[in-house]
Amino acid sequence: MFEEAKRKYKDGEYKILVAKVIDKYEFCKTKNKITYTNFLNISEISIITKILKQEKIQNFLFWGGKKETDRSILIFYPEKFSKEIIEKNYENIFEVIRIKLSSNIKYEHREFLSGIMKLGIKREKFGDIIVTNFGADIIVFKEISKILLDGLKSLTRFKKSEINIISIKELTDIVSEFEKLNIIVSSIRLDNFVSELSKYSRIQAQEIIKDGKVYINSINELKASKKININDIITIRGKGKFIFDQIEKETRSGRILLNIRKYK
């Protein structure tokens, strides 16, 4: 199995990732045990999803704490288990570091992220940082939650904060904020969307797509003529994430006015 993936990714930045995923799958298969990867970003999830579909592998799932999280781990499980059983045991894998800031302090995502990175914790070892009204919830592997907790408490920026480990079940709901946009396109093609949303020319948009920088519903899309459907989520690396809400109207010249929401 995985012969095509091994050939395709024998070189380049995803070589180690693909090799590790194959090892996790084979361990699960031979030892009949649950295995899982580190946290993966949108590019890595897209690549691995395509490989697993090509290999017709079914006993796996991606999870990052909530359906809306950007970073997830890949879990392989034996045939004797159901997906529902795995979902009931997330507490054995994840925990949450909750940071409650003092009332006069307000940090953005980058302050929390830089603090963790300052401790020498690799980005693959923790998931999304959910910024809240009180501070932030950080999704982390259970095995390193105590290490991260102690490290965060040692940082000057969090000296006056209350920091605790809580269950993944207590994770704060993710409430996304949006900026409403309208764009006008000649057709519902991906390159038209990318051109308008990124403020690039059509040719530049096609190059961005060709370079693998565009995703539809977290799956990398290389076809510029791909049709976009209502409720599709389009991610353009370096430009943001957008939801295609609806077609507002068709103009007299035959162009189409669309309602878009951009994640803040």
In the chain, % of residues over pLDDT 70 = 100
Q: Which residue has the tokens 């994430």?
A: 241
Contact assessment for residue 190 and residue 223, using Cβ atoms and an 8 Å cutoff: yes
Q: 32-82: per-residue pLDDT in tens? A: 999 999 999 999 999 999 999 999 999 999 999 998 899 999 999 999 898
For residue 22, give the 3-state DSSP assignment: helix
d(CA 149, CA 160): 14
- 3-88 shares its CATH topology with 92-170: no
Q: 115-147: per-residue pLDDT in tens? A: 999 999 999 999 999 999 999 999 999 999 999
> CATH homologous superfamily for 178-263?
RNA-binding S4 domain (3.10.290.10)
Asked if the 92-170 domain carries CATH number 3.30.379.10, the reply is no
CB neighbourhood size of 145 (10 A): 19
Q: Where are the domains of the chain?
A: 3-88, 92-170, 178-263
Q: How confident is the model at residue 241 (pLDDT cuts 50, 70, 90)?
A: very high
d(CA 61, CA 74): 6
Query: Considering the domain 3-88, what is its CATH architecture?
Result: 2-Layer Sandwich (3.30)
Counting DSSP H helices and E strands in the chain, the numbers are 8, 13
The answer, yes or no, to whether residue 264 has pLDDT greater than 90, is no
